[in-house]
Amino acid sequence: MRTLLLMALLLGVFINSNAQDLVYKPKNPAFGGDTFNYQWLLSSAESQNDFKEDTKTGFEQKTELERFKENLNNQLLNKISNSLFENQFGDKGIAEGSYVFGSLAVDIYPSNLGLVVDILDTDTGEQTQIFIPGNN
């Protein structure tokens, strides 16, 4: 009898219980949210933005004189580097060894990956390594 009464009581609780659907409503108007949220979201995003646009870094056309000067400078530097290269390495090309070009210390040695060129700027401490693949 008690079990029957307990079952009736539980059945009555389940019948009278009300449930509510959970509904998701987005805040962003771009995803279906309220359009009045747009201004608030925009101002919130702009206040958090640490990056400021620099209007002076746009593309500026160089004058004929500036382009001529740059071209002449590039050709002069190319001739100087070719002359240094031939004076240092001769007609044979790059050879193993250690070389110094001003503040640049260059070490060239073979490895299993090919020819390795280590370049060290003795003024700043910056260095780079170049691998020249070859027939081993």
What per-residue confidence (pLDDT) applies to 1?
75
What per-residue confidence (pLDDT) applies to 58?
66
What per-residue confidence (pLDDT) applies to 14?
61
How does pLDDT run across 114-130, given as a tens digit for each residue?
888 899 999 999 999 98
What per-residue confidence (pLDDT) applies to 127?
92
What per-residue confidence (pLDDT) applies to 88?
67
How does pLDDT run across 2-15, given as a tens digit for each residue?
787 777 776 665 66
Which element (helix H / strand E) includes 99?
Answer: strand 97-101
Is the CB of residue 99 less than 8 Å from the CB of residue 88? Answer: yes
> Which residue ranges make up each domain of the chain?
94-135
The residues that bridge with 109 in the sheet, in sequence order, are: 116
Give rounded-to-5 percent helix, strand, coil for the chain.
45, 20, 35
What per-residue confidence (pLDDT) applies to 6?
74
What per-residue confidence (pLDDT) applies to 70?
92
How does pLDDT run across 56-102, given as a tens digit for each residue?
766 778 899 999 999 998 998 888 778 777 776 677 777 788 888 78
How does pLDDT run across 24-50, given as a tens digit for each residue?
888 888 888 888 888 888 888 888 988
